[in-house]
Chains A and B, each alone.
Chain A
């Protein structure tokens, strides 16, 4: 019983650590929300060193009620935000979530996040692997 419990605990810790993916995430940052802004954006770079194409399919964070995947596009001078069901990361390639392109969009939490604070994101990929990344809140790009 004790052993089973410790196994359960171990698997829980492993899933929390979530370093079971071959994909890498770095340069993560969140744009500090201007006063009054209800939405925030986060940016990062995901690298796929493997031989197969991967897709980012879901993102969660303890700091935000939910995390959406978006892409800003400007067509004929019109800026649009398009909801993305997933974000592709080609084999041996990388994708940059950056201002004016792919980004994560989150509702601003009740307690305002200030520049210098950090938040965690858990990235889930289509091969059921996950990566945890720490993002720093920054005042500007």
Chain B
């Protein structure tokens, strides 16, 4: 008759090896293979900023915490690239809604880099057109810059066809913040809604598995 008190040394070694193999199998998973996203080597904490949301309320770093956030930077006078990108982000949201519980849904944020022309009231109607839950923010140029410079997002006014119809050259990338409010990943153009949605689910799962 045998019990674990009388196991042979060989048996002990085999058990130890088995346990090690099991532990290795349960160790942190490999980073996901992504189609469009560029994952930051380590998520970058963001210093606080003070913007205004589409309801005219303060929008700060705290508003990026507790949920994932897709952010796009542009301006409403932009007729081609911005509606295309926001329409694409709206499709990402609708795709994710099929897979995620409401409380796990990411937030979609449009930051207007044109506070001279884009008011919170205008932004509220503008973003809701693309997806009802989209939020928007803008604010003092210095505060916009305080956020964008931490993300490598660039924008510069360029001459328009008329004096008051100036255009703005701006980064076309979509930024992903994690629920800690850190800059987590970047989606460069050309954007594909299905690829972004599936990348997001992989990033989210990996983040939750490695916490």
Contacts and interface: CB of A to CB of B under 8 A. Distances in A.
Q: Which 6 A-B pairs have the closest CB atoms?
A: A35-B125, A36-B122, A41-B79, A79-B172, A39-B79, A34-B129
Contacts of B125: 34-36
B173 interface: yes
A40 to B, nearest CB: 5
Contacts of A62: none
Given A100-B80, A103-B80, A141 B172 contact: no
A33 B129 CA distance: 10
Contacts of B86: 34
Interface stretch (B45-53, B96-104, B163-171, B195-203): B163-171
A129 interface: no
Interface residues of A, number: 28
Interface of B: 76-81, 83-84, 86-87, 117, 122-123, 125-126, 128-130, 154, 158, 161, 165, 167, 169-173, 188-190
Given A77-B189, A78-B171, 11 more contacts: A31-B79, A41-B83, A77-B172, A79-B170, A81-B80, A81-B81, A99-B84, A100-B80, A100-B81, A100-B84, A105-B80
A70 B80 contact: yes
A33 B188 CA distance: 25
Interface in A80-115: 80-81, 83, 99-100, 103, 105-107
Contacts of B83: 31, 34, 37, 41
Contacts, number: 85
A140 interface: yes
A72 interface: yes
A119 to B, nearest CB: 14
A37 B169 contact: no
A80 B168 CA distance: 7
B113 to A, nearest CB: 12
A77 B154 CA distance: 9
B169 A79 contact: yes
Nearest to B90: A140
A106 B80 CA distance: 11
Given A68-B161, A105-B80, A37 B126 contact: yes
B185 to A, nearest CB: 14
A35 B158 CA distance: 24
16 contacts: A35-B125, A36-B123, A39-B78, A39-B79, A68-B161, A72-B80, A74-B172, A77-B188, A80-B167, A81-B78, A81-B167, A83-B161, A99-B80, A100-B80, A100-B81, A105-B79
